[in-house]
Structure 1
Amino acid sequence: MIIVIQFVVGLVFGFGLLLSGMSNPEKVLNFLDLAAIPSGGWDPSLLLVMAGAVGVTFAGFQLVRRRQRPVLGERFHLPPSQTLDWRIAAGPAIFGIGWGLAGICPGPAFVALGYGSPAILLFVIAMMVGMAAARRVADRQPSLASALTE
């Protein structure tokens, strides 16, 4: 039953990405192109998508924090450490640069595979290779906090 619920949640998420335009790299790049504001080429519509996502996430976290355990699980899976680590700084920076260059991020990339675009397929393959390489590098590196205190 849990797998069915997860599948339905994934479908709703994917539908939301399609409906919002987040799976369309051109729309994302038009949003990120702030230099196009004076000419009227900037697309601010994704601000509404982000505002909606922040609102839903905030409300969800407020509800979750009141629970002793998840609805569909035995326990919450929280990070075991709160130590600042280099991945916390580098990961989002690399993610943002990649999103700005390609106009697509991982979730929408998987949804966009349905378009049958060779460019999207290449992006997803490169993303998976990059994730595997990052995992290998991260497993060999000490945390940033321990490096700063030594």
Structure 2
Amino acid sequence: MPLIVVGGLVFGFGLGLSHMARPEVVLDFLQFEDFGLLFVLGVGSVVAGTAFAVGVHVLDRAPLTGRPYARRLKSFDRNVLTGGVIFGVGWGISGICPGAAYASVGVGNYPILLAIAGMFLGAYAQGLWRARTDDAAAATPTSD
């Protein structure tokens, strides 16, 4: 648990320091005017990729949960594609992604709380939709 807090502190401090918690910086990236976000994403990807590659070979368990390390393969299906498009549209409209939204509050951007509320409402709506479609699929009789 303390490692998670430390990781969150490092993440939030880094987002604030690099100005990636400011929606206008993210929007400049999306309009191909500022490529600082590409550098931040690249460094994060290298660190995470290295940690997971080493972790799988060196550790036999996840350090926080104690569960065995295993790759979870997810198929590239319609839901992944549709969800990615919807996420991208929301990111482009708001200029902020979920992690940076919380860091943005930390640097004094309180209007971003509206975007955070929207993220929660969107996630809740998706949960209701998923539950409804799962219930409908379970109620549909199969012909064997």
Q: TM-score, normalised by structure 1?
A: 0.76
Query: Residue 14 of structure 1 aligns with which residue?
Result: 12
In 2, the alpha carbon distance for the partners of 1:133 and 1:73 equals 29
What 5-or-longer segments of structure 2 have no aligned partner? 138-144
Preserved CA contact (<8 Å) 1:87 1:138: no
Comparing 92-101 and 114-123, the one that deviates more: 114-123
- 8 A Cα contact 1:69 1:75, kept in partner: yes
- CA shift in 2, pair 1:59/1:30, >3 Å: same
Shift of 1:72: 2.3
Q: Does 2:63 correspond to 1:63?
A: no
**Structure 1 Cα separation of the partners of residues 120 and 71 of structure 2:** 23
Instruction: Output one character per residue of 1:16-63: Cα deviation in whole Å (capped at 9) or x when no partner.
Output: 1112222110001011113xxxxxxx1122221122122112211211
CA RMSD of aligned residues (A): 2.5
1:1-150 alignment, distance < 5 Å: 3-34=1-32, 42-66=33-57, 67-76=59-68, 82=74, 84-141=76-133
The percent of aligned pairs where both chains have the same amino acid is 37
Per mean C-alpha deviation after superposition, the further-off stretch among 25-34 and 68-77 is 68-77
Q: Give the gaps of 5 or more residues in structure 1.
A: 35-41, 144-150
Give the Å deviation of 1:114.
2.3
- Paired residues, what number? 134
2-structure distance, mates of 1:88, 1:106: 18
